[in-house]
Chain A
Amino acid sequence: MQKSWLVSVSAVIILVQACLANADTRISGYGSFVAGKTVSGQYFLSDFPKTGIYDKDWSFSPDTTIGIQLSHDINQDYSFVMQLNAHGARGYESEINWAYINYQLSSELSVQLGRKRLPLYYYSDFFDVGYAYNWIRPPADNYTWQISNYNGINLLYETQLGDWDTTFNIIIGIVGEFNRDWLNIRLTAMSSELDRTINGIQVAENVVQQFNGLSVNINLDSFSLLSEFNGYKRDDDHIDVHTRMLSLAYTVSDITPFISYSEFEQKLTLAGGDEHHSTRSAGIRWDIYHNTALKIQYDRVKDEGISSAILGDSESLAFGIDVVF
Chain B
Amino acid sequence: MRNSTIITRLTVYGAISLAILTAACAVGFAFGSVPISPESLWLAVFDKSELPSVQKTILFELRWPRILLGMLIGASLAMAGTAFQGVLRNPLADPYIVGTSAGASLGATIAIVLHIPSPFPWLSPVAAFAFFGAVLSMLAVYKLSSIDNKLPVETFLLAGVVVGSFTGALVSFLMTMANEDLHRVIIWLMGSLGQTDLNLVKLVLPYFIVGGIWLYWLAPSLNIISMGDENAQSMGVEVEKLKVSAIAAASLITAATVAAGGLIGFLGLFIPHVTRMIVGPDHRVLIPIAAINGGAFLVLADTLARTAAAPKEIPVGVITALVGAPFFFWLLHKKRRL
Partners in one complex: no
